[in-house]
Structure 1
Amino acid sequence: MAVVTFLSAKGSPGVTTTALLAAALWPRPAVLVEADPAGGDLAARVPGPDGAPLDADRGLLPLLTTARRGLRAAQVLDQAQVVAGGSRVVVGVGGPEQSAAAGPVWSALGGALRELGQGPSHDSAGPFDVLVDAGRVGADPVHLDLLRASDVVVALVRSEVAAVLHARERLRVLGGALRRPDGSSPRTGVVVVGDLRRAARRADDCAGVLVGPAVEDLGRLPLDPAGAAVFAGAGTARPERTALVRAGRTVVATLAAAAEATATTAGRVPAGAGAA
Protein backbone atom coordinates (compact mmCIF):
# COMPACT_ATOMS: atom_id res chain seq x y z
CA MET A 1 0.00 0.00 0.00
CA ALA A 2 1.07 3.64 -0.26
CA VAL A 3 1.93 6.79 1.68
CA VAL A 4 0.19 9.92 0.32
CA THR A 5 1.22 13.29 1.74
CA PHE A 6 -0.81 16.52 1.54
CA LEU A 7 0.96 19.86 1.93
CA SER A 8 0.81 23.53 1.00
CA ALA A 9 3.47 26.01 -0.07
CA LYS A 10 1.70 29.21 1.01
CA GLY A 11 -1.35 30.30 2.95
CA SER A 12 -4.16 28.00 4.04
CA PRO A 13 -5.62 26.28 0.99
CA GLY A 14 -7.33 23.58 3.07
CA VAL A 15 -4.70 20.89 3.60
CA THR A 16 -6.28 19.43 6.75
CA THR A 17 -9.78 19.59 5.27
CA THR A 18 -8.57 17.82 2.13
CA ALA A 19 -6.74 15.17 4.15
CA LEU A 20 -9.90 14.49 6.17
CA LEU A 21 -11.94 14.41 2.97
CA ALA A 22 -9.53 11.87 1.50
CA ALA A 23 -9.64 9.72 4.63
CA ALA A 24 -13.44 9.71 4.56
CA LEU A 25 -13.66 8.77 0.86
CA TRP A 26 -10.59 6.56 0.47
CA PRO A 27 -11.50 3.27 -1.24
CA ARG A 28 -9.09 1.13 0.79
CA PRO A 29 -8.27 0.84 4.52
CA ALA A 30 -6.42 4.02 5.49
CA VAL A 31 -5.07 5.89 8.49
CA LEU A 32 -4.58 9.67 8.55
CA VAL A 33 -1.47 10.93 10.35
CA GLU A 34 -1.34 14.61 11.29
CA ALA A 35 2.34 15.50 10.84
CA ASP A 36 2.30 19.29 10.64
CA PRO A 37 5.42 20.56 12.48
CA ALA A 38 3.62 23.83 13.23
CA GLY A 39 1.07 21.92 15.30
CA GLY A 40 -2.14 20.15 14.46
CA ASP A 41 -5.79 20.84 15.14
CA LEU A 42 -7.47 17.52 14.38
CA ALA A 43 -8.16 16.91 18.07
CA ALA A 44 -10.04 20.22 18.23
CA ARG A 45 -11.80 19.83 14.88
CA VAL A 46 -13.25 16.33 14.88
CA PRO A 47 -14.92 14.36 17.69
CA GLY A 48 -15.05 10.64 18.29
CA PRO A 49 -17.97 8.51 17.05
CA ASP A 50 -19.94 9.28 20.22
CA GLY A 51 -19.39 13.03 19.91
CA ALA A 52 -16.86 13.13 22.74
CA PRO A 53 -13.46 14.80 22.30
CA LEU A 54 -10.56 12.67 21.16
CA ASP A 55 -8.11 11.38 23.77
CA ALA A 56 -5.45 14.09 24.15
CA ASP A 57 -2.94 11.55 25.47
CA ARG A 58 -2.93 9.53 22.26
CA GLY A 59 -1.37 10.59 18.96
CA LEU A 60 1.95 11.61 17.48
CA LEU A 61 3.50 13.02 20.65
CA PRO A 62 3.79 9.66 22.47
CA LEU A 63 5.36 8.23 19.31
CA LEU A 64 7.93 11.03 19.14
CA THR A 65 9.04 10.43 22.71
CA THR A 66 9.80 6.75 22.02
CA ALA A 67 10.97 6.87 18.41
CA ARG A 68 14.61 7.54 19.26
CA ARG A 69 14.78 3.89 20.24
CA GLY A 70 13.12 2.86 16.98
CA LEU A 71 9.55 3.09 15.77
CA ARG A 72 7.40 0.31 14.32
CA ALA A 73 4.18 0.38 12.37
CA ALA A 74 2.23 -1.31 15.16
CA GLN A 75 3.08 1.59 17.48
CA VAL A 76 1.61 4.07 15.00
CA LEU A 77 -1.57 2.05 14.70
CA ASP A 78 -1.86 1.83 18.48
CA GLN A 79 -2.03 5.64 18.62
CA ALA A 80 -4.82 5.89 16.02
CA GLN A 81 -8.31 6.89 17.08
CA VAL A 82 -11.59 6.49 15.24
CA VAL A 83 -13.44 9.73 14.59
CA ALA A 84 -17.03 10.47 13.66
CA GLY A 85 -17.57 9.01 10.21
CA GLY A 86 -15.29 6.06 10.84
CA SER A 87 -11.87 7.34 9.75
CA ARG A 88 -8.75 6.38 11.71
CA VAL A 89 -6.54 9.35 12.68
CA VAL A 90 -3.30 9.91 14.58
CA VAL A 91 -3.45 13.45 15.96
CA GLY A 92 -0.39 15.69 15.74
CA VAL A 93 1.89 17.58 18.11
CA GLY A 94 0.63 20.66 19.90
CA GLY A 95 2.98 23.20 18.35
CA PRO A 96 6.39 24.00 16.84
CA GLU A 97 8.18 23.70 20.19
CA GLN A 98 7.27 20.01 20.48
CA SER A 99 8.11 19.52 16.82
CA ALA A 100 11.58 21.04 17.18
CA ALA A 101 12.27 18.83 20.18
CA ALA A 102 11.47 15.78 18.05
CA GLY A 103 14.58 16.35 15.91
CA PRO A 104 15.57 13.26 13.88
CA VAL A 105 12.42 11.40 14.94
CA TRP A 106 10.66 12.49 11.73
CA SER A 107 12.80 10.07 9.71
CA ALA A 108 11.89 7.21 12.05
CA LEU A 109 8.23 8.09 11.57
CA GLY A 110 8.65 7.96 7.79
CA GLY A 111 10.02 4.45 8.00
CA ALA A 112 7.21 3.33 10.29
CA LEU A 113 4.59 4.69 7.92
CA ARG A 114 6.13 2.79 5.02
CA GLU A 115 6.07 -0.33 7.19
CA LEU A 116 2.42 0.32 8.05
CA GLY A 117 1.70 0.10 4.35
CA GLN A 118 2.98 -3.47 4.40
CA GLY A 119 0.43 -4.46 7.06
CA PRO A 120 1.21 -4.97 10.77
CA SER A 121 1.26 -8.70 11.38
CA HIS A 122 -1.02 -8.40 14.41
CA ASP A 123 -3.75 -6.52 12.56
CA SER A 124 -6.37 -8.64 10.79
CA ALA A 125 -7.43 -5.69 8.61
CA GLY A 126 -4.22 -6.06 6.62
CA PRO A 127 -2.09 -3.23 5.21
CA PHE A 128 -3.18 0.41 5.22
CA ASP A 129 -2.69 3.30 2.89
CA VAL A 130 -1.29 6.14 4.97
CA LEU A 131 -2.52 9.71 4.43
CA VAL A 132 -0.26 12.39 5.88
CA ASP A 133 -1.22 15.98 6.66
CA ALA A 134 2.20 17.66 6.43
CA GLY A 135 0.92 21.24 6.75
CA ARG A 136 2.77 24.15 5.20
CA VAL A 137 6.21 23.22 3.89
CA GLY A 138 8.89 25.88 3.90
CA ALA A 139 12.40 26.08 2.46
CA ASP A 140 13.99 23.70 4.98
CA PRO A 141 11.26 21.47 6.44
CA VAL A 142 12.16 19.61 9.63
CA HIS A 143 10.12 16.64 8.39
CA LEU A 144 11.88 16.34 5.02
CA ASP A 145 12.71 12.66 5.66
CA LEU A 146 9.02 12.00 6.22
CA LEU A 147 8.16 13.73 2.92
CA ARG A 148 10.78 11.63 1.11
CA ALA A 149 9.13 8.48 2.46
CA SER A 150 5.94 9.34 0.55
CA ASP A 151 4.84 7.61 -2.61
CA VAL A 152 2.69 10.55 -3.70
CA VAL A 153 3.03 14.20 -2.63
CA VAL A 154 -0.02 16.39 -3.19
CA ALA A 155 0.34 20.18 -3.06
CA LEU A 156 -2.87 22.12 -2.38
CA VAL A 157 -2.82 25.52 -4.12
CA ARG A 158 -5.38 28.33 -4.13
CA SER A 159 -6.26 29.68 -7.58
CA GLU A 160 -4.70 33.07 -6.84
CA VAL A 161 -1.75 34.58 -8.66
CA ALA A 162 0.48 35.05 -5.60
CA ALA A 163 -0.26 31.56 -4.30
CA VAL A 164 0.43 29.93 -7.67
CA LEU A 165 3.72 31.75 -8.24
CA HIS A 166 4.88 30.92 -4.73
CA ALA A 167 3.86 27.28 -5.15
CA ARG A 168 5.69 27.01 -8.46
CA GLU A 169 8.95 28.12 -6.88
CA ARG A 170 8.43 25.94 -3.79
CA LEU A 171 7.70 22.87 -5.92
CA ARG A 172 10.82 23.54 -7.98
CA VAL A 173 13.01 23.60 -4.87
CA LEU A 174 11.15 20.79 -3.18
CA GLY A 175 11.55 18.58 -6.23
CA GLY A 176 15.30 18.42 -5.70
CA ALA A 177 15.01 18.10 -1.92
CA LEU A 178 12.68 15.12 -2.19
CA ARG A 179 15.18 13.06 -4.21
CA ARG A 180 16.12 9.91 -2.31
CA PRO A 181 19.64 8.41 -2.10
CA ASP A 182 18.74 5.91 -4.85
CA GLY A 183 17.80 8.77 -7.19
CA SER A 184 14.04 8.17 -7.03
CA SER A 185 11.48 10.75 -5.90
CA PRO A 186 7.84 10.71 -4.78
CA ARG A 187 5.24 11.17 -7.48
CA THR A 188 4.22 14.83 -7.15
CA GLY A 189 1.10 16.69 -8.21
CA VAL A 190 -1.17 19.64 -7.48
CA VAL A 191 -4.82 20.04 -6.59
CA VAL A 192 -6.09 23.56 -7.28
CA VAL A 193 -8.69 24.98 -4.88
CA GLY A 194 -10.95 27.80 -6.05
CA ASP A 195 -14.37 29.02 -7.09
CA LEU A 196 -15.16 26.40 -9.70
CA ARG A 197 -18.56 27.79 -10.65
CA ARG A 198 -17.45 31.31 -11.50
CA ALA A 199 -13.76 30.88 -12.20
CA ALA A 200 -13.22 27.35 -13.48
CA ARG A 201 -11.08 28.67 -16.33
CA ARG A 202 -8.83 30.48 -13.87
CA ALA A 203 -8.34 27.25 -11.90
CA ASP A 204 -7.35 25.50 -15.13
CA ASP A 205 -4.93 28.30 -15.99
CA CYS A 206 -3.37 28.07 -12.53
CA ALA A 207 -2.87 24.34 -12.93
CA GLY A 208 -1.29 24.98 -16.32
CA VAL A 209 1.34 27.21 -14.71
CA LEU A 210 2.25 24.54 -12.16
CA VAL A 211 2.13 21.33 -14.15
CA GLY A 212 5.27 20.14 -15.88
CA PRO A 213 7.47 17.07 -16.39
CA ALA A 214 7.77 16.51 -12.62
CA VAL A 215 4.38 17.82 -11.45
CA GLU A 216 1.01 16.31 -12.36
CA ASP A 217 -2.46 17.82 -12.43
CA LEU A 218 -4.45 15.84 -9.85
CA GLY A 219 -7.71 17.76 -9.97
CA ARG A 220 -9.81 20.61 -8.61
CA LEU A 221 -11.64 21.23 -5.35
CA PRO A 222 -14.17 24.01 -4.77
CA LEU A 223 -14.20 26.65 -2.08
CA ASP A 224 -17.20 25.31 -0.19
CA PRO A 225 -17.77 26.50 3.41
CA ALA A 226 -20.70 24.11 3.92
CA GLY A 227 -18.65 21.15 2.78
CA ALA A 228 -15.60 22.21 4.80
CA ALA A 229 -17.79 22.51 7.90
CA VAL A 230 -18.36 18.75 7.75
CA PHE A 231 -14.65 18.30 8.43
CA ALA A 232 -14.53 20.91 11.18
CA GLY A 233 -16.87 19.14 13.57
CA ALA A 234 -20.05 20.88 12.42
CA GLY A 235 -23.16 18.94 11.55
CA THR A 236 -24.32 19.42 7.96
CA ALA A 237 -27.46 17.92 6.48
CA ARG A 238 -26.70 15.51 3.62
CA PRO A 239 -22.93 16.13 3.52
CA GLU A 240 -22.67 13.87 0.47
CA ARG A 241 -24.51 16.57 -1.49
CA THR A 242 -22.04 19.36 -0.72
CA ALA A 243 -19.92 20.62 -3.60
CA LEU A 244 -16.74 19.66 -1.73
CA VAL A 245 -17.69 16.03 -1.26
CA ARG A 246 -19.07 15.67 -4.78
CA ALA A 247 -15.89 17.05 -6.34
CA GLY A 248 -13.83 15.23 -3.74
CA ARG A 249 -14.98 11.84 -4.98
CA THR A 250 -13.29 12.44 -8.32
CA VAL A 251 -10.11 13.86 -6.80
CA VAL A 252 -9.80 11.10 -4.20
CA ALA A 253 -10.36 8.42 -6.84
CA THR A 254 -7.53 9.97 -8.87
CA LEU A 255 -5.22 10.08 -5.85
CA ALA A 256 -6.04 6.51 -4.81
CA ALA A 257 -5.31 5.26 -8.32
CA ALA A 258 -2.01 7.18 -8.44
CA ALA A 259 -1.04 5.79 -5.03
CA GLU A 260 -1.81 2.22 -6.03
CA ALA A 261 0.02 2.52 -9.33
CA THR A 262 3.10 3.97 -7.63
CA ALA A 263 3.14 1.30 -4.92
CA THR A 264 2.62 -1.43 -7.52
CA THR A 265 5.56 -0.15 -9.57
CA ALA A 266 7.66 -0.22 -6.41
CA GLY A 267 6.61 -3.82 -5.85
CA ARG A 268 4.81 -3.23 -2.55
CA VAL A 269 1.24 -4.10 -3.56
CA PRO A 270 -0.19 -6.48 -6.17
CA ALA A 271 -1.77 -4.83 -9.19
CA GLY A 272 -5.53 -4.50 -8.71
CA ALA A 273 -5.31 -4.68 -4.91
CA GLY A 274 -7.54 -1.65 -4.61
CA ALA A 275 -10.25 -2.93 -6.95
CA ALA A 276 -13.73 -3.01 -5.52
Structure 2
Amino acid sequence: MAQGPEREESTHNAGSHASLSVRWVQGFPKQNVHFVNDSTICYPSGNFIIFLDIETKQKTILQCMNGIVGVLATNIPYEVVAFSDRKLRPVIYIYSFPALTRRTKLKGNVLLDYILLSFSYCGTYLASYSSLPEFELALWNWELGVILCKKSQPGVDVSQMTFNPMNWHQLCLSSPSSVTVWTVERSNQEHYLKAKSVKLPMEDGSFFNEKDVVFPDSLPKDPIYGPILPLSAIAGLVDKEAETFRKMTNSF
Protein backbone atom coordinates (compact mmCIF):
# COMPACT_ATOMS: atom_id res chain seq x y z
CA MET A 1 0.00 0.00 0.00
CA ALA A 2 1.47 3.32 -1.04
CA GLN A 3 2.05 6.10 1.45
CA GLY A 4 1.53 9.82 1.14
CA PRO A 5 0.74 12.97 3.10
CA GLU A 6 -2.18 12.82 5.49
CA ARG A 7 -5.25 14.79 4.57
CA GLU A 8 -8.90 14.89 5.45
CA GLU A 9 -11.19 12.85 3.22
CA SER A 10 -14.97 12.80 3.06
CA THR A 11 -15.79 9.51 4.81
CA HIS A 12 -18.97 7.47 5.17
CA ASN A 13 -19.45 4.28 7.18
CA ALA A 14 -21.29 1.24 5.82
CA GLY A 15 -23.03 -0.94 8.37
CA SER A 16 -22.18 0.87 11.61
CA HIS A 17 -21.76 4.24 13.32
CA ALA A 18 -18.06 4.67 14.09
CA SER A 19 -16.75 7.03 16.74
CA LEU A 20 -13.44 7.58 14.94
CA SER A 21 -13.06 9.35 11.61
CA VAL A 22 -10.68 8.18 8.89
CA ARG A 23 -7.99 10.72 7.99
CA TRP A 24 -6.17 8.91 5.20
CA VAL A 25 -6.72 5.91 2.91
CA GLN A 26 -4.38 5.02 0.07
CA GLY A 27 -4.09 2.02 -2.21
CA PHE A 28 -4.92 1.06 -5.76
CA PRO A 29 -5.87 -2.39 -7.12
CA LYS A 30 -4.60 -3.93 -10.34
CA GLN A 31 -8.18 -4.44 -11.50
CA ASN A 32 -11.79 -4.01 -10.35
CA VAL A 33 -11.97 -0.27 -11.14
CA HIS A 34 -15.38 1.00 -12.24
CA PHE A 35 -17.08 4.19 -13.37
CA VAL A 36 -20.06 5.13 -11.21
CA ASN A 37 -20.94 8.16 -13.36
CA ASP A 38 -19.37 10.16 -16.19
CA SER A 39 -16.64 11.70 -14.05
CA THR A 40 -16.16 9.41 -11.03
CA ILE A 41 -14.38 6.08 -10.69
CA CYS A 42 -14.43 3.82 -7.66
CA TYR A 43 -12.29 0.94 -6.47
CA PRO A 44 -11.83 -1.14 -3.29
CA SER A 45 -8.94 -0.60 -0.91
CA GLY A 46 -8.96 -2.89 2.12
CA ASN A 47 -12.23 -2.32 3.96
CA PHE A 48 -12.88 0.94 2.08
CA ILE A 49 -14.27 1.94 -1.30
CA ILE A 50 -12.60 5.04 -2.73
CA PHE A 51 -14.54 7.31 -5.10
CA LEU A 52 -12.30 9.59 -7.16
CA ASP A 53 -13.54 12.48 -9.27
CA ILE A 54 -11.20 12.36 -12.27
CA GLU A 55 -11.76 16.06 -13.00
CA THR A 56 -11.37 17.64 -9.56
CA LYS A 57 -9.25 14.80 -8.03
CA GLN A 58 -11.48 14.93 -4.94
CA LYS A 59 -11.87 11.67 -3.02
CA THR A 60 -14.86 10.32 -1.13
CA ILE A 61 -14.51 7.24 1.04
CA LEU A 62 -17.10 4.61 1.97
CA GLN A 63 -16.11 2.30 4.81
CA CYS A 64 -17.33 -1.28 5.16
CA MET A 65 -17.51 -2.02 8.88
CA ASN A 66 -18.10 -5.77 8.49
CA GLY A 67 -14.84 -6.84 6.88
CA ILE A 68 -12.70 -6.34 3.80
CA VAL A 69 -14.52 -5.28 0.65
CA GLY A 70 -14.87 -8.26 -1.67
CA VAL A 71 -16.20 -7.88 -5.22
CA LEU A 72 -17.56 -4.61 -6.58
CA ALA A 73 -19.98 -3.59 -9.33
CA THR A 74 -21.61 -0.32 -10.41
CA ASN A 75 -24.78 0.68 -12.22
CA ILE A 76 -24.34 4.02 -14.01
CA PRO A 77 -28.01 4.66 -14.98
CA TYR A 78 -29.14 4.23 -11.36
CA GLU A 79 -25.87 5.60 -9.90
CA VAL A 80 -25.52 2.80 -7.37
CA VAL A 81 -22.61 0.65 -6.27
CA ALA A 82 -22.83 -2.95 -5.02
CA PHE A 83 -20.15 -4.71 -3.01
CA SER A 84 -19.80 -7.77 -0.81
CA ASP A 85 -17.99 -8.08 2.49
CA ARG A 86 -15.32 -10.77 2.78
CA LYS A 87 -16.39 -12.75 5.82
CA LEU A 88 -18.23 -15.94 6.75
CA ARG A 89 -21.74 -15.80 5.24
CA PRO A 90 -21.09 -12.62 3.25
CA VAL A 91 -23.70 -9.97 2.48
CA ILE A 92 -24.11 -7.76 -0.60
CA TYR A 93 -24.65 -4.05 0.09
CA ILE A 94 -26.01 -1.54 -2.42
CA TYR A 95 -25.35 2.18 -1.90
CA SER A 96 -26.45 5.21 -3.88
CA PHE A 97 -23.96 7.76 -5.18
CA PRO A 98 -23.07 10.54 -4.45
CA ALA A 99 -25.17 10.51 -1.26
CA LEU A 100 -23.61 7.15 -0.22
CA THR A 101 -26.78 6.10 1.55
CA ARG A 102 -27.61 2.42 1.75
CA ARG A 103 -30.38 1.36 -0.62
CA THR A 104 -30.62 -2.28 0.42
CA LYS A 105 -28.80 -5.29 1.87
CA LEU A 106 -28.96 -8.64 0.06
CA LYS A 107 -28.68 -11.81 2.13
CA GLY A 108 -28.32 -15.17 0.42
CA ASN A 109 -27.19 -18.61 1.55
CA VAL A 110 -23.56 -18.28 0.43
CA LEU A 111 -21.13 -19.63 3.02
CA LEU A 112 -17.68 -18.26 2.12
CA ASP A 113 -17.43 -15.62 -0.60
CA TYR A 114 -18.87 -13.93 -3.66
CA ILE A 115 -16.42 -13.83 -6.56
CA LEU A 116 -18.44 -11.91 -9.19
CA LEU A 117 -21.18 -9.27 -9.28
CA SER A 118 -22.78 -7.76 -12.38
CA PHE A 119 -25.64 -5.30 -12.90
CA SER A 120 -27.98 -5.57 -15.87
CA TYR A 121 -27.84 -2.70 -18.36
CA CYS A 122 -31.57 -2.09 -17.95
CA GLY A 123 -33.88 -2.82 -15.05
CA THR A 124 -33.09 -3.47 -11.40
CA TYR A 125 -31.31 -6.81 -11.75
CA LEU A 126 -28.05 -8.00 -10.25
CA ALA A 127 -26.26 -11.29 -10.89
CA SER A 128 -23.92 -12.84 -8.34
CA TYR A 129 -21.62 -15.86 -8.46
CA SER A 130 -20.18 -17.51 -5.37
CA SER A 131 -17.08 -19.56 -4.69
CA LEU A 132 -16.98 -23.06 -3.22
CA PRO A 133 -18.85 -24.90 -1.87
CA GLU A 134 -21.96 -23.61 -3.70
CA PHE A 135 -20.59 -22.25 -7.02
CA GLU A 136 -23.99 -20.60 -7.23
CA LEU A 137 -25.29 -18.26 -9.93
CA ALA A 138 -28.10 -16.08 -8.55
CA LEU A 139 -30.29 -13.43 -10.15
CA TRP A 140 -31.56 -10.71 -7.81
CA ASN A 141 -34.08 -7.93 -8.07
CA TRP A 142 -31.91 -5.63 -5.99
CA GLU A 143 -34.58 -2.97 -5.56
CA LEU A 144 -36.92 -5.52 -3.94
CA GLY A 145 -34.05 -7.35 -2.22
CA VAL A 146 -35.10 -10.82 -3.41
CA ILE A 147 -33.54 -13.69 -5.37
CA LEU A 148 -35.57 -14.40 -8.50
CA CYS A 149 -33.77 -17.64 -9.38
CA LYS A 150 -30.49 -19.43 -8.77
CA LYS A 151 -28.50 -22.38 -10.05
CA SER A 152 -25.57 -24.27 -8.55
CA GLN A 153 -22.66 -25.53 -10.69
CA PRO A 154 -20.49 -27.67 -8.38
CA GLY A 155 -16.80 -27.28 -9.15
CA VAL A 156 -17.19 -24.67 -11.92
CA ASP A 157 -14.92 -21.65 -11.42
CA VAL A 158 -16.13 -18.63 -13.40
CA SER A 159 -13.74 -15.79 -14.27
CA GLN A 160 -16.09 -13.36 -16.06
CA MET A 161 -19.82 -12.63 -15.98
CA THR A 162 -21.85 -10.07 -17.90
CA PHE A 163 -25.41 -9.34 -18.99
CA ASN A 164 -26.42 -9.00 -22.62
CA PRO A 165 -26.55 -5.18 -23.08
CA MET A 166 -29.72 -5.50 -25.17
CA ASN A 167 -31.51 -8.19 -23.16
CA TRP A 168 -31.32 -8.69 -19.38
CA HIS A 169 -32.75 -12.21 -19.87
CA GLN A 170 -29.31 -13.38 -21.06
CA LEU A 171 -26.09 -13.78 -19.07
CA CYS A 172 -22.69 -14.88 -20.35
CA LEU A 173 -20.33 -16.67 -17.97
CA SER A 174 -16.83 -17.72 -18.98
CA SER A 175 -14.24 -19.96 -17.38
CA PRO A 176 -10.79 -21.07 -18.56
CA SER A 177 -12.38 -24.04 -20.35
CA SER A 178 -15.86 -22.97 -21.47
CA VAL A 179 -18.32 -20.20 -22.24
CA THR A 180 -21.94 -20.61 -21.15
CA VAL A 181 -24.93 -18.46 -22.05
CA TRP A 182 -27.66 -18.52 -19.42
CA THR A 183 -31.20 -17.55 -20.37
CA VAL A 184 -33.66 -16.31 -17.75
CA GLU A 185 -37.04 -17.81 -18.61
CA ARG A 186 -40.18 -16.53 -16.95
CA SER A 187 -43.60 -18.04 -16.36
CA ASN A 188 -45.92 -15.62 -14.58
CA GLN A 189 -43.90 -14.67 -11.46
CA GLU A 190 -41.53 -17.66 -11.59
CA HIS A 191 -38.03 -17.33 -13.07
CA TYR A 192 -35.79 -20.15 -14.29
CA LEU A 193 -32.17 -20.33 -15.45
CA LYS A 194 -31.43 -22.40 -18.56
CA ALA A 195 -27.86 -22.97 -19.74
CA LYS A 196 -26.44 -23.38 -23.23
CA SER A 197 -22.74 -24.11 -23.68
CA VAL A 198 -20.91 -22.50 -26.57
CA LYS A 199 -18.20 -24.53 -28.32
CA LEU A 200 -14.87 -22.76 -28.62
CA PRO A 201 -12.59 -23.35 -31.64
CA MET A 202 -9.24 -25.08 -31.36
CA GLU A 203 -5.94 -23.24 -31.73
CA ASP A 204 -6.03 -23.48 -35.54
CA GLY A 205 -9.55 -22.02 -35.67
CA SER A 206 -11.29 -25.28 -36.58
CA PHE A 207 -14.06 -26.89 -34.57
CA PHE A 208 -13.84 -30.37 -33.12
CA ASN A 209 -16.29 -32.72 -34.88
CA GLU A 210 -17.53 -35.34 -32.45
CA LYS A 211 -19.48 -37.26 -35.11
CA ASP A 212 -16.29 -39.03 -36.23
CA VAL A 213 -15.37 -40.18 -32.74
CA VAL A 214 -16.39 -43.61 -31.50
CA PHE A 215 -16.70 -42.37 -27.92
CA PRO A 216 -17.68 -38.67 -28.07
CA ASP A 217 -16.80 -36.47 -25.10
CA SER A 218 -20.33 -35.06 -24.98
CA LEU A 219 -21.79 -38.36 -23.80
CA PRO A 220 -22.70 -38.48 -20.10
CA LYS A 221 -20.45 -40.20 -17.61
CA ASP A 222 -20.59 -43.98 -17.31
CA PRO A 223 -23.69 -45.05 -15.39
CA ILE A 224 -23.51 -47.55 -12.55
CA TYR A 225 -24.39 -50.48 -14.84
CA GLY A 226 -21.51 -49.88 -17.26
CA PRO A 227 -20.27 -47.60 -20.05
CA ILE A 228 -22.53 -46.21 -22.77
CA LEU A 229 -21.59 -47.88 -26.08
CA PRO A 230 -22.32 -46.75 -29.65
CA LEU A 231 -25.02 -48.74 -31.44
CA SER A 232 -22.42 -50.02 -33.92
CA ALA A 233 -20.44 -51.60 -31.07
CA ILE A 234 -23.59 -53.18 -29.62
CA ALA A 235 -24.31 -54.65 -33.08
CA GLY A 236 -20.77 -56.09 -33.21
CA LEU A 237 -19.69 -54.10 -36.27
CA VAL A 238 -16.07 -53.12 -36.95
CA ASP A 239 -14.02 -51.04 -39.40
CA LYS A 240 -15.98 -49.41 -42.26
CA GLU A 241 -19.23 -51.12 -41.31
CA ALA A 242 -19.06 -49.47 -37.88
CA GLU A 243 -18.22 -46.07 -39.38
CA THR A 244 -21.08 -46.12 -41.91
CA PHE A 245 -23.66 -47.76 -39.64
CA ARG A 246 -26.88 -45.79 -39.23
CA LYS A 247 -29.81 -46.69 -37.03
CA MET A 248 -32.90 -47.67 -39.02
CA THR A 249 -36.00 -45.64 -38.36
CA ASN A 250 -39.58 -46.76 -38.90
CA SER A 251 -41.14 -44.46 -41.49
CA PHE A 252 -44.64 -45.84 -41.00
TM-score interval, smaller chain: under 0.3
Greater RCO, 1 or 2 (C-alpha within 8 Å, sep 6+): 1
**TM superposition score normalised by structure 2:** 0.26
**Which structure carries more helix by proportion?**
1
TM-score by length of 1: 0.25
- Structure number with the higher strand fraction is 2
Q: Which has the larger radius of gyration?
A: 2
